[in-house]
Amino acid sequence: MRRNAASLWLVPALAMALAGCGGKATDEVEPNIPPKDFKQEVLSTLSKTLDDPTNARDAYISDPVLTQVGSNQRYTACVRFNARDLSKSYIGSKDRIAYFYGGHLNQLIEAAKEQCGNAAYKPFPELEKYCFAAKCG
């Protein structure tokens, strides 16, 4: 009888002790880690989202900077390029904004003028020369 009573007490005590180990500190991600491989992540995303990701022209990218996004700050980078559509015609230069969370690309969308209007663009030859394996011969 004592053995059963002891085991009934031990199980809840063990469960409570283990619950204390799974606190939020290990589950939370620091949102504003500076992205390291941001160019490669942008290239990878563009390879999946552009109609024809080969032979982009006039490609530029800004370094990631902390930007006010709503009530939070997030790392963002701006990308400008002229890509081709499905008929292989160039569609004109477009700006996109990349949002980073926890050091990784979270979203890459068309940018409004005010989002990338003051971006410090630098040449992005990796995009112009990039050969996406499935699309190149």
What pTM was computed for the model?
Answer: 0.75
What is the CB neighbour count within 10 angstroms for residue 5? 9
Residue 115 predicted with pLDDT over 60: yes
Instruction: Give the chain's end-to-end CA distance (angstroms, integer).
Output: 77
Residue 133 predicted with pLDDT over 80: no
Secondary element (H or E) of residue 49: helix 38-49
Domain limits, the chain? 38-129
| Among candidate residues 110, 117, 119, the one with its CA nearest the CA of residue 46 | 110
User: pLDDT tier at 55 (50, 70, 90 boundaries)?
Assistant: confident
The DSSP symbol for 33 reads: P
Ramachandran class of 103: left when φ > 0, alpha when ψ lies in -120 to 50, beta otherwise: left
Q: Higher pLDDT residue, 21 or 69?
A: 69
Residue 15 predicted with pLDDT over 70: no
Residue 93 predicted with pLDDT over 80: yes
* pLDDT given at position 28: 87
* pLDDT given at position 8: 41
What is the tens place of the pLDDT at every residue in 26-48?
678 899 999 999 999 999 999 99
* pLDDT given at position 73: 96
